[in-house]
Amino acid sequence: MEDAYARSVSEVLESFGVDPTKGLSDFQVAEHARLYGRNVLPQDGSTPFWKLVLKQFDDLLVKILIAAAVVSFFLALINGETGLTAFLEPSVILMILAANAAVGVITETNAEKALEELRAYQADIATVLRNGCFSILPATDLVPGDIVEVSVGCKIPADMRMIEMLSDQLRVDQAILTGESCSVGKELESTLATKAVYQDKTNILFSGTVVVAGRARAVVVGIGSNTAMGSIRDSMLRTEDEVTPLKKKLDEFGTFLAKVIAGICVLVWVVNIGHFRDPAHGGFLRGAIHYFKIAVALAVAAIPEGLPAVVTTCLALGTKRMARLNAIVRSLPSVETLGCTTVICSDKTGTLTTNMMSVSKICVLHSVHHVPITTEYSVSGTTYAPEGFIFGSDGMQLEFPAQLPCLLHIAMCSALCNESVLQYNPDKGNYEKIGESTEVALRVLAEKVGLPGFDSMPSALNMLSKHERASYCNRYWENQFKKVSLLEFSRDRKMMSVLCSRKQMEIMFSKGAPESIISRCTSILCNDDGSTVPLTANIRAELESRFHSFAGKETLRCLALALKRMPMGQQTVSLDDEKDLTFVGLVGMLDPPREEVRNAILSCMTAGIRVIVVTGDNKSTAESLCQKIGAFDHLVDFVGHSYTASEFEELPALQKTVALQRMAMFTRVEPSHKRMLVEALQHQNEVVAMTGDGVNDAPALKKADIGIAMGSGTAVAKSASDMVLADDNFATIVAAIAEGRAIYNNTKQFIRYMISSNIGEVVCIFVAAVLGIPDTLVPVQLLWVNLVTDGLPATAIGFNKQDCDVMKAKPRKVNEAVVTGWLFFRYLVVGAYVGLATVAGFIWWFVYADNGPKLPYVELMSFDTCSTRQTTYPCSVFNDRHPSTVSMTVLVVVEMFNALNNLSENQSLLVIPPWSNLWLLGSIVLTMLLHILILYVRPLSVLFSVTPLSWADWTVVLYLSFPVVIIDEILKFFSRNSSSNVISELFFSAQIYVF
């Protein structure tokens, strides 16, 4: 029943045909079970493992690599190759693809855990009335129409409509669903609100929430998927994971590269059709196969096989750095997404605030003989830990607060007129509450006031263990006073009272809403001498003024405390006794903002990131908090910047668009609103980070570009998120964004490095094919260069230091190219040199090397007709491994110099020297050692078709390689120079997007 909140109790009971005194009969239970099903969240069929694996290979670039591996294998078999040489190249390719697929499968498997965690919030048992008898049944057996009784500590087993109150009040903690910082009072009356959100449905008990006070009966109106918790599950199922900006660019790059590769391969094959019949090939078919192998080699050269592995490694290194900042990354791509975040939708409770109510202000009567007659005290400490101090109106800390009469009696009343528990949890290392957060705040206040009569009290308390310290002062007062009788809180009185006895003296302590307590007081306690004086109209007006200041301007939750001497021997307390009270003091409490939030939000603004506070709390409370944070001081007022969910929904489409661009506050929201906000911002091309900790936040966390859960939050929120804040601190998000931007900059640098290197390999093979000279490099050599000699330096580039002004730049746009027109031109120039230098090394050995044949260049171009002509040299010289070894070594060394070029995009090596990144220098040394290993160790040299080089060969290699540094330094100079824009326009009037 979706509108049960709007119907009367009798209408709801009648619709289910249930008698509230007897409950459902067995026949009705069976019938309702058949109609509505079981009270469980359905098990959603997870994606089969084999489908997850296949999905990882659904990429054009990957398919080309697989095709290249298969073709390479078959060509090797056609040529009669067997053993390791036939399988090496395809095996290496497939191993890389398998490793990348494994990472993808693990990431996607984690995403499905959120739905499993959601079931943990379903109650296990329920007290149900059936056939006129109460019994305890599994919650899964509940059906709509069942009458259920709930009391303090009960987890609500289904969505239920209140039908009978069995105590003065019923309060429920529904923060996991709505994000409200305080428990909510429930009532029997139907709700008249139109478009009611969860917070407005005050007669509905929601599945998974917890009763914190009172006892009541309710009728089940929704089970399983038809509950508020079920709607969250459905919303999460409808949410598809967003592709990260970098992933989009890599996908676009794959498509672009596939087209280029296909074009070049076909071109090389077509250009050489005339050579298919050359005698060296032994026939037209073998000639066609030979040049097809060259085309495959081109494909292997053009595809950066190591790119996915290097990207994954760099992001993994970033996650380790973030973990040290208390930001635990659950999804690797989200590391990069952080760098282009433009909007942070921040949950209020627990993220901007501590989610722990604490007393921050105290107001007492100082003396009727002095002006001002009242005194205010401020209290430090914003958590449930009994750590903090009390400060006077002059800002000075009170050394012994318990020596002041009013503060002493406030501590007594806070400890005795209290039904909550404060305890220390050694497993979690923090203090926890049981009961109402406002009552726990009073217990913490009693601990901060301390005990009277001991000069060493503050230091003595600090010597206690944390377990003993949690309630030491509260237990002292409970041992001093024996509780005799209790009057529970009720909505009409708005107060509670407790009768206590001590040494033949009976005292009634009361606490409640200030308007209720003050109206029942006739006298007031003075703080200067402990005397009691009549509560005059002037004093009453002053107290009410302070109360309105606390509640209005400062939006504090206020409670007044009072006491009354009772006749000796009285054993009960009645409503008639709650009059002629003595006013003790007024306390104001709040869920305090975190101290570091202000600077964090200001950092976001400097970085061009907008912050929107999203909360289930009411508008005035949220606006007051933002004023306390001070980060929204640039707003004259919140008009046009602050909206409730219902206000926003009523706006016309055009005004909604404008509102989204100016919004700073979004209040009275429920889960669907949070998800709607994320989608609306994404439609405006914003990159959205959403924070949250409750079950209600899970759909929005999953939908956002990056979902950020609190470490103390629910398991559902953590499982649906991309990142978890171990310290629940908003400031950690800002630090993570800075790290994300730095990681992206480094990722961009090594992608460019690999692009220019691969361009060099393509140029090398293409130029050799066009010139008609022998193959400069064989595919297995290209694989070695791409995976090892490219991969290690590219990974080390990820260790480039973070720029000092990384958080002063505006967020990059999602569609911003990694390589634009001028940069693409730069890397074409560098890549072209790499390729030409490699070919030059090959030609040098044949034409000029002392240990080479010193052939005329024309002979080298006619190598394929050698067997049909008389020559002064043996044709076997063209099978010598020296020239390809020189080419491969030139390629490796020139790419090491090119790696140094990528320490910075535009800064010279004279400004950012090579030793600024020792990891890069180490990777270059390791790469050269590995290359020397395959040159000089016999089994490896045979495997890679290489041979040892002489010192003369190495000298030429260095001469051919070093100029790449000079070329890039010249290009960097033009980039730094303002005329580079002109150059860019001359060469590329429109930007060329490689990604």
- What amino acid positions are annotated as catalytic residues? 347
Question: What does the CA dihedral 862, 864, 866, 868 come to, rounded to 10 degrees?
Answer: -110
- Structure tokens given for 572: 């009960």
Which residues lie below 8 Å from residue 870, measured CB to CB, with a gap of 6+?
Answer: none
How many other CB atoms sit within 10 Å of the CB of residue 526? 18
The CA-based angle 583-587-589, given to 5 degrees, is: 160
> Which whole-number Å values give the CA distances from 868 to 277, 405, 770, in the listed order?
13, 117, 22
Question: What does the CA dihedral 342, 345, 348, 351 come to, rounded to 10 degrees?
Answer: -60
Length of the chain: 995
> Which whole-number Å values give the CA distances from 102 to 52, 107, 253, 355, in the listed order?
10, 9, 22, 39
Q: Which of 233, 232, 241 is nearest to 332 (CA)?
A: 241
What angle, rounded to 10 degrees, do the helices at 980-987 and 821-847 form?
A: 80
Beta bridge partners of residue 692, listed in sequence order: 709
- Give SS3 for 995: coil
CA distance 565 to 506: 6
DSSP string, 315-364: HHHHHHHHHHTTEEESSTHHHHHGGG--EEEEEIIIIIB-S--EEEEEEE
- Phi, psi at residue 487, to the nearest 5°? -110, 110
Q: Is residue 174 within 8 Å of residue 198, measured between CB atoms?
A: yes
Q: Which of 646, 644, 609 is nearest to 812 (CA)?
A: 609
Which residues lie below 8 Å from residue 724, measured CB to CB, with a gap of 6+?
Answer: 327, 328, 330, 708, 709, 710, 711, 718
Cis (ω within 30 of 0) for the bond into 372? Answer: yes
Torsion sign across C-alpha atoms 45, 46, 49, 50:
positive
How many other CB atoms sit within 10 Å of the CB of residue 571? 10
CA distance 795 to 798: 5
- Largest distance between two CA atoms of the chain: 132
CA distance 614 to 780: 56
Q: Which of 885, 921, 901 is nearest to 964 (CA)?
A: 901
Per DSSP (E only), the strands in 366-416 are 374-379, 390-391
Separate counts of helices (H) and strands (E) for the chain: 37, 27
